[in-house]
Homo-oligomer: A and B are copies of this chain.
Amino acid sequence: MNFTIDREILLENLNVIARGLPAKSPMPILTGIKLDVTDSDLYMTSSNTDISVETFVSDSSLQVLKPGKTVVPGRFFIDIIRKINSKKVSLTLVDERILLIKADRGEYKLHIMDPLDYPNIDFVTLENPLVLPAERIKTIIRQTCFATATSEKKPILTGVHLKLEGNKLTAVATDSFRLSQTILDVGEYSPFAITIPNKSLDELLKALDNYNENVTLYFSVNKLLVKFRNVLFQTRLLDGNYPDTSRLIPASYPIIIKFNKDELLDAVERVSLLSPRDKTSDRELAYSIIKLTVAKDHTVEISTTNASVGDANEELIPTDTQVAGPITIGFSSRYLIEALRSFESTEIALNCSEGIRPFVITGEKDHNLTQLILPVRMD
């Protein structure tokens, strides 16, 4: 193996390859990046147990003197290429033992691993893929992924559920205390239902950073392959049946209160400064509870009481209300803050029912986005 390439092109690809690189691995070979250079192209591969990434570089700056394969220590390789500021780098395999990296007057020798030990990774492309603009996929991830469970008690809830049915793609995430759902019209496709691990989606979001063209999605039984630019990004799917969440979202609401989103967000963030923290070590239960009250005259108050520090109270003037009588609901301020941030709308609506029943947030401009939060009993 002996080739030269523009450092910037190499780094750009390594930044995507980094998404599949495990911090640690029970299989040491997977801490490496597989390089495979042919007469005209460079393939790079990384993989942890969940995600595998391959990039294919066919840049005009790539000059191959001798094709070959190797596996280099991943983090060190990326760190070096990142820190170098030469225009070009040259990579040469020496004695099948060392990768020599030359950049200007710098020389770096990395002990390589045997490419024969690197597991064979199948990137599964099936017929009839789904093509979506990258921006849509990034929006789906941003609007749902935060609501997945972080605890492994119910592993299926650590993923975002994607379901295609009758031209509609529905993405759902829930940690059993709240639920995010967004629906996309995607035209004619064969139906499927899969659940994607939240960590894979976090990495996909980073991999798609700066990319705004179309993305091709291949769905198989236990894998999702995402193809964009010169990248193949594959993730395993979660096993098991995703709970049916379709009946959780009420069909209509007796109470609707509309707010300027930023005003509500600011008030909730301020009030939650004083809300008591639950000391439990289970992150999912670590909430800070605040209270929303609608008075008879339709003024709204967001408030909290913290026995050890004090009280906070913010009055808000809704942009519109549809309320029968005075109501009070209590809920986690973090859930409301995260839900509100997922909206692009200037005006959002809180849609509530009487009693301790889930309430739903919708936005005037975010069609098909629903954020549901389970209130807590206020005694």
Contacts and interface: CB of A to CB of B under 8 A. Distances in A.
Interface centre among A84, A105, A313 (most CB of B within 10 A): A105
B309 A106 contact: no
A70 to B, nearest CB: 13
B310 A98 contact: yes
Interface residues of A, number: 32
A310 B310 CA distance: 58
B73 A309 contact: yes
Nearest to A315: B105
Interface in A76-112: 76, 79-80, 83-85, 98, 105-111
Nearest to A317: B105
A267 interface: yes
Contact of A85 (B79, B266, B274, B308): B266
Nearest to A302: B106
A273 interface: yes
A106 B312 contact: yes
B309 A110 contact: yes
Interface string A258-274: 00000000110111011
Contacts of A106: 267, 270-271, 312-315
A32 B264 CA distance: 30
Nearest to A79: B273
Nearest to A307: B111
Contacts of A98: 310
A273 B109 CA distance: 12
Given A76-B273, A269-B83, A105 B316 contact: yes
Interface in A245-287: 266-267, 269-271, 273-274
A311 interface: yes
Contacts of A109: 310-313
Contacts of A271: 106
Given A266-B85, A316-B105, A310 B273 contact: no
Contact of A76 (B73, B76, B309): B309
A310 B111 contact: yes
A270 B76 contact: no
B309 A107 contact: no
A30 to B, nearest CB: 16
Best-buried of A310, A312, A315, A317 by chain B (most CB within 10 Å): A310
B105 A314 contact: yes
Given A309-B73, A315-B105, A316-B105, A80 B270 contact: yes
A107 B269 contact: no
A310 B106 CA distance: 14
A308 B28 CA distance: 13
A126 to B, nearest CB: 40
Contacts of A83: 266, 269-270, 273
Contacts of A84: 270
Contacts of A108: 274, 310-313
Interface string A306-336: 0011111111110000000000000000000
A18 to B, nearest CB: 15
Interface of A: 73, 76, 79-80, 83-85, 98, 105-111, 266-267, 269-271, 273-274, 308-317
19 contacts: A73-B310, A76-B273, A76-B274, A76-B309, A80-B270, A83-B269, A84-B270, A85-B266, A105-B316, A106-B267, A106-B315, A107-B311, A107-B312, A108-B310, A109-B311, A109-B313, A110-B310, A111-B308, A111-B310
